[in-house]
């Protein structure tokens, strides 16, 4: 039974390097209204190919209405300015305009970590949190979102920041780096994540740090969380892999309200 669009029912889509997934969302409660539908990301992940896949995800839910969409890129005024784990053709692409044309509906596009952060701040680990909040997602790369008194400061892409002269943060401390270098959870937590947290605390002085991505799942979080020492409060993300979809829908709701 398809979900009917309404003021508080918006479709959210999360574009990733390996999969594109989406579902209708109750943006007031921050929950999916149906099981998410996932289609592998086309290779190469060009704007045109990804846009067609987004339309297919919507069609699977028989959705007809506004939607929010995340992407692993810096987004400004509907234009993607970078491309992480997607085709470089996205750089300079008028992404909102393209997706709106292909889907036939208004599209709000934003950075994937920003979307996850919005969801966590409104309905998850950062709910009702004042002051400065830094969210870091550890997965294929490292995503980041920064908030001040609940207001997003967009496109803070800390995973691309230089680290130890020749590398960037995500090459050093992402979950992909852990797997690639065959690191135990203990060694990864102590020798990779902890130094990154210390560095970012020095730069931003957050009151709360939220750790998201696949490593925030309880069965993984328990393997390394006790090894991390921060001045800020440290919490795992609450919404898991649904955060991007939920946050994208919330951003779209903000746009059409």
Residue 119: the pLDDT is 98
Residue 35: the pLDDT is 96
**Residues of the chain below pLDDT 70:** 1, 257
- C-alpha 86: how far from its chain's center? 14
Is 128-237 in the same CATH topology as 9-114+243-256? Answer: yes
Q: Which CATH architecture has domain 128-237?
A: 2-Layer Sandwich (3.30)
The pair of three-digit structure tokens given for residue 240, joined into one six-digit string: 């898991």
Q: Is the preceding omega at residue 44 within 30 degrees of 0, hence cis?
A: yes
Residue 257: the pLDDT is 67
Give the tens place of pLDDT for each residue, 156-210: 999 999 998 889 999 999 999 999 999 999 999 999 999 999 999 999 999 999 9
Domain map (residue ranges) of the chain: 9-114+243-256, 128-237
Question: What is the pTM for the complete model shown?
Answer: 0.94
Check: CATH 3.30.420.40 for 9-114+243-256? yes
Length of the chain equals 257
Distance CA 153, CA 165 (A): 27
Residue 196 · residue 188 · CB < 8 Å: no
Residue 238 · residue 204 · CB < 8 Å: no
Distance CA 28, CA 159 (A): 30
């Amino acid at each position: 039974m398809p979900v009917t669009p309404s003021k508080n029912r918006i479709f959210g889509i999360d574009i990733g390097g390996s999969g594109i997934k989406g579902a209708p969302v109750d943006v007031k409660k921050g929950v999916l209204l149906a099981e998410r539908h996932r289609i592998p990301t086309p290779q190469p992940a060009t704007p045109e190919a990804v846009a067609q896949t987004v339309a297919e995800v919507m069609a699977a839910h028989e959705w007809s209405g506004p939607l929010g969409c995340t992407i692993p890129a810096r987004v400004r005024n509907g234009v993607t300015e970078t491309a992480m784990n997607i085709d470089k053709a996205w750089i300079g692409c008028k992404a909102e305009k393209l997706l709106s044309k292909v889907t036939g509906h208004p599209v709000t596009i934003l950075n994937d970590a920003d979307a996850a952060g919005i969801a966590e701040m409104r309905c998850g680990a950062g709910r009702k949190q004042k002051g400065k909040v830094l969210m870091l997602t550890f997965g294929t790369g490292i995503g980041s979102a920064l908030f001040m008194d609940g207001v997003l400061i967009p496109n803070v892409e800390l995973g691309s920041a230089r680290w130890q002269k020749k590398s960037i943060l995500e090459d050093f401390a992402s979950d992909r780096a852990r797997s690639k270098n065959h690191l135990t959870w203990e060694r990864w937590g102590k020798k990779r994540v902890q130094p990154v947290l210390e560095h970012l605390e020095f730069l931003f002085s957050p009151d709360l740090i939220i750790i998201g991505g696949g490593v925030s799942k309880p069965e993984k979080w328990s393997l390394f969380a006790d090894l991390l020492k921060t001045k800020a409060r440290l919490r795992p993300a609450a919404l898991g892999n649904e955060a991007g979809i939920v946050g994208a829908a919330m951003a779209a709701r903000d746009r059409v309200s």
